[in-house]
Amino acid sequence: MENAKQSPLGIYNAYLREGKLAYQFSPTSGKAVFYPRVICPDTGSENLEWRFSKGQGTVHATTVVHPQQGDPFNVALIDLTEGYRMMSRVEGIDPMAVKIGMRVTFRVYEQGGDEPPLPVFTPMGG
């Protein structure tokens, strides 16, 4: 098993544990690739490079979830400046105050236990 290739998700989570938001880049297509995967969805090429995001983005879409138990929270699609979109949430603000077009910045949320960390965002400048 020593020669087994680590999964893209495992690599991504390892970078998150280091406080880095990683994504893949396809030199063949010239595009960012996210969610981590083995081949480029545009070209089928296995030639994918790991890069690190600056962690700045813009809210593309948002909604508020009202669970039966617990406080409401938002779910947002974030467009990162590197050219990819990811689903996350915006914290440190009332869920109803998250707006399309809001600039946000990345941080790591530690779930604890054996759970992997999660990428979340906070309003830029706040």
CATH number at 34 reads 2.40.50.840
Mean per-residue pLDDT for 1-13?
77
**Number of domains forming the structure of the chain:** 1
Average pLDDT over the chain reads 92
Show the DSSP H helices in 5-124 as ranges: 8-17
Q: Name, in order, each residue with C-beta under 8 angstroms of 88's C-beta and a sequence gap of 6 or more.
A: 75, 76, 78, 118, 119, 120, 121
Q: Residues 64, 97: contact at Cβ < 8 Å?
A: no
Q: Residues 119, 88: contact at Cβ < 8 Å?
A: yes
Nearest to 124 by CA among 54, 33, 20: 54
Amino acid, single-letter form, for residue 25: F
In a domain, 83, yes or no: yes
Q: Residues 37, 45: contact at Cβ < 8 Å?
A: no
In a domain, 97, yes or no: yes
In a domain, 3, yes or no: no
In this predicted structure, what is the pLDDT of residue 66?
A: 95
Mean per-residue pLDDT for 76-84?
97
Q: Using one digit for the tens of pLDDT, what is the confidence trace for 31-75?
A: 999 999 999 999 999 999 999 999 999 999 999 999 999 999 999
Domain range for 71 is 8-123
In a domain, 1, yes or no: no
